[in-house]
Amino acid sequence: MDGILNIYKEKGFTSHDVVAVVRKILQMKKVGHTGTLDPDAEGVLPICVGRGTKLSDIIMDGRKSYRTVLHLGVTTTTEDASGEVLEEKPVIFDEGNISEAVKTFIGELEQVPPMYSAVKVNGKKLYELAREGKEIERKPRKITVYDIRIRRFIPPCQVEMDVDCSKGTYIRTLCADIGKALGYGGHMASLSRIATGGFSVEDAITLGQLKDMARAGKAEEVLLKLEEVLKEYTRVIVSDKSTKLLYNGGKIRSKFFKAQKELEVGQVVTVFDYENNLIGLYTVIKEENDFFIKPFKMLI
């Protein structure tokens, strides 16, 4: 079994818990996740199986969408509902002011990772230092918030929002920063990931559903094949004359393509052998006025 499972992570599970359960259900060792979700969060968590584990970083790098509830007027140690309350302030629930403040957080931003996070500083995770009562200076990271859509206002102090963002964005920090900008403070009351790297909540299945499918011998029916995961990439099929070079990870000249393609230098393509077996992801390069493809990520 090689591919990706679109799992809906329920509350109470860590991402590592989900991996352990999938290993047990499928009786496979080669299983991995595509980016952590906190135990209190729920939603889409693609799980890589077999050769699919080689695509985990590509999926993690993809655009993400979250549904969250911002609770204004209360700041916490963890920037979410699980932390201890640090401060409470009365909130003037002005929908217009809230909307304007939210708009200022769309675009390229610099975000300081929260102390309760898995970011490592000098070999130690920030949350480990936070549990020791320590707080250290953190360098801001560049992130992109592509869009924030307010779904509904929930008086007297909550706002439900959908956020489209880049890898590395902390939604609880975004909520805390919006609250700070409004002058009341705030924290993330709930979080659900509704899409990541091309996987959406509409197509996700729970661990319980996967278990039932496996018992019925139908687990492969919900496993998205590698070719399907990579369908948005331009497909290059090479001739049988380059088979040895292909399987040895060599560069392939364009004259060995079964059909000529309009390619650009730096483009990443999926490459198949002459029998339509997926070999890997390759990068397009140009040497001596000719196009070549060279291995970017081998999948064999």
- What are the catalytic residues? 38
Half-sphere exposure of 172 (CA within 13 A, CB side): 24
Kindly write down the DSSP assignment for every residue of 20-84, as one continuous string: HHHHHHHT-S-EEESS---TT-EEEEEEEEGGGGGGHHHHHTS-EEEEEEEEETEEETTSBTTSP
Residue 243: other Cβ atoms inside 10 A:
15
| Strands 268-272 and 234-237, bridge-based pairing | parallel
CB neighbour class for 90 (10 Å; exposed up to 12, middle 13-18, buried from 19): exposed
